[in-house]
Amino acid sequence: MARNIKLINADAPDATDIQSLVSTLTAGWRTDREKMIALWAYIARNAFYHWCEARERPEGTTELGMVFDPIAAFNVHGTTICYQVSHLLGNLGELAGIKCRTIGAPGHRLMEAYYDGQWHLFDGQYDLAAYYVADDGETIASYEQVCRAPDKYVRHPKYPSQPFFQFDRCGGEFWPWETREYAIEHFFNPDVPAKATVYRCNLVRGHSIHLDLRRGERLIRRWSNEGKWYCPPEFRQVWKRDLTQRWVDAGPHDPRAPENTYANGELIYEPDWQAADVNFRDGLHDGHNFALVDGEVRPASAGACQVVFRVYSPYLIVGRPAEPPGQAASQDGAVVQADFFRKDETAANSVSVSIDTGLTWRQVWTNDKTGRSTVRLDLTEFVEGTHGYLIRFDLTGGRPEDASLSHLRLRNSLFFSPVPLPAVRPGENRFVFSMQEGHGVLCLQPDLGEGADFRRHFAELKNLTYDPKFVRHLSPRKGRGHAVLAVAAPPAAKIARMTVHACFGVDISPHRRESAEILYAAEPQGPWRSAWKSDFPGRNEKWRWDESVDIVLDAPSERCYLKFVLNRRRRLSLNMVRLYAHYLRPSQPLRPGDVRVVHEWLEDGQRKTHTASPHPAGEAYIVPAGGERIQNLSVTIDVANES
């Protein structure tokens, strides 16, 4: 298996994880001012969407469904609506060691960074993108300074940033705030700062573009939108009632900048079990009482057998548009095809799916025929909007040869933003390929908004009551309570490190001292070690408090435990948990030639392709592009079956 594949254009920012993004954007810059401009420019100068709220399930219709993780926002959703981009930019700044906060003006959200003894305003909103330079040509003004002198800073800037109100040329044709006059009247006048509120940045991290490809698997990432974009179905109905959101069925687009679009790709798994046993075992997630005979999976002995395969993508699984266009129904987004054999009525074949790492299963098909048959199942309705799932095949026979599975094929459609993709550009392109053998990532997203079923995620709950209402999920009755989350590595794997994210609902009063702590242990009884603790100091005008914590275990472990402790005086709740567990799992190394990368683009209207076979240990290669007009079409990473 090719684990943790990374393919980047060496001359472009590395947006595969937040540390790499901040490091590549700020490389070579020494001062905090220079670093903040570089971070701001990545958002302001790229064609990310405007006015498209990035939301994911669970809880897509509440604020808990909003995406504030920069890597997920930039790579998957591509959104830069004001209240989200202010937190995204603040995330990047904080990781660069710069204190950041957001400013809530009436009708707009901005961000300030603190360095050189004062605050400095940065607006990352695509149409209002700007920072405001003082008369010395260097100092970036604060929000209050801009509001005190809007004529100098907004109406007639002497040193405008690049870009500066890049959509004011539209003159309010699409939305009124595209004009500087509207912005001055509503966001930048001397009376506004008194009405504005200050918020702590939501520090949400952990998502990464972690690509694992098995033998017989290929990832196709396109720059075009040939399928659907992901919108939580329940939230779609909210948007459709808003006259400013007429793009909902068509997908995110900007009438002022048609190049702002989304993209689709495919993850296709076609293992050749007949050619070599390793092609089967390389992709197997788990199983028992199975045997591979002549390319067919059978029970190893009379009775039942199971084999489980995992589908994972850092992008979201999404369907293709239904007919007629505009219907909310999804199809053809997650398709499994396989050959089954059932000798007689005493034998059985079935398929089940899990979207919670195997805690619960849903049977989606049972074979009601005997003999051999090719079956195609559309799983889109069960898995759309997720980053992956487990698919389980159950085979039962009085004799091992009475039931079998063969010729498995999995095809999943993906939704993402094309901006961070490894693009071919005019001239000589240097691409860097790398991978980490044996490294994988497990994503856990307990749904605390689904009622009593949330309990299945936790090994222990003590002195916590549950309320399904928004912002009131898990809270102590009085005083101290805790929840313990058990984290199990995949079979034959061990967890080495984790990024844990928690979202709390907190009483904002400075007179109340709520506190929370995240601890971890290798055993359910401890000893427990603290990873993060907060007394929620200072006044935050928003109930929401997000914190992401990196944990490195002393030694890789098959299981570990997380404890979320809450000390409540007036109001404190645990509303959301996200976990990214990075694990080690032995795998047979790939050989030179097993991995192939194909770039496809249009060069002055002519179709061009370049195929590279980078060494699995990592390698850089050159892709020349001689034309001036480049249109990227796709980039494919293919891992060959063992022959």
Q: What is the 3-state secondary structure (H, E, C) of 384-402?
A: CCCCEEEEEEEEEECCHHH
pLDDT-derived band at 142, boundaries 50, 70, 90? very high
pLDDT-derived band at 409, boundaries 50, 70, 90? very high
d(CA 127, CA 332): 35
491 preceded by a cis bond (ω within 30 of 0): no
**34-54 tens-digit pLDDT:** 999 999 999 999 988 777 778
**195-238 tens-digit pLDDT:** 998 888 999 999 999 999 999 999 999 999 888 888 877 777 77
d(CA 343, CA 364): 21
Domain ranges of the chain: 17-200, 224-416, 439-584
What's the distance, CA 51 to chain centroid? 19
CATH of 17-200, one of 3.90.1480, 1.10.10, 3.10.620, 1.10.287: 3.10.620
Which superfamily does 224-416 belong to?
A: Galactose-binding domain-like (2.60.120.260)
Residue with tokens 């589908």: 311
163 preceded by a cis bond (ω within 30 of 0): yes
**322-334 tens-digit pLDDT:** 654 455 567 899 9
The b-or-e profile of 287-298 (16+ CB within 10 A means b, else e) is bebbebeebbbb
Q: Are 566 and 553 in contact (CB under 8 A)?
A: no
The mean per-residue pLDDT over the stretch 252-271 comes to 83
CATH 1.10.287.110 corresponds to the domain 439-584: no
**pLDDT, position 477:** 85
pLDDT-derived band at 466, boundaries 50, 70, 90? confident
Residue 622, amino acid? I
Q: Indicate if 439-584 has the same CATH topology as 17-200.
A: no
Number of C-beta neighbours around residue 348 at 10 A = 15
Question: Which residue stretches of 250-357 are H helix?
Answer: 277-281
**78-120 tens-digit pLDDT:** 988 898 999 999 999 999 999 999 999 988 999 999 999 999 9
Rounded to two decimals, what is the model's pTM?
Answer: 0.93
**Residue 157: strand, helix, or coil:** coil
pLDDT-derived band at 245, boundaries 50, 70, 90? low
**546-570 tens-digit pLDDT:** 999 999 999 999 999 999 999 988 8
d(CA 495, CA 97): 28
- Is the predicted pLDDT of residue 72 greater than 80, yes or no? yes
Would you state the torsion angle of the CA atoms of residues 197, 142, 36, 536, taken in this order, to the nearest 10 degrees? -30
End-to-end C-alpha distance for the chain, whole angstroms: 15
pLDDT-derived band at 141, boundaries 50, 70, 90? very high
Indicate the angle between helix axes 32-44 and 18-26, nearest 10 degrees.
120
Q: What is the mean pLDDT of the chain?
A: 90
d(CA 285, CA 583): 14
Query: How do beta strands 529-534 and 348-354 pair?
Result: unpaired
H or E stretch at 233: helix 233-240
d(CA 53, CA 238): 12
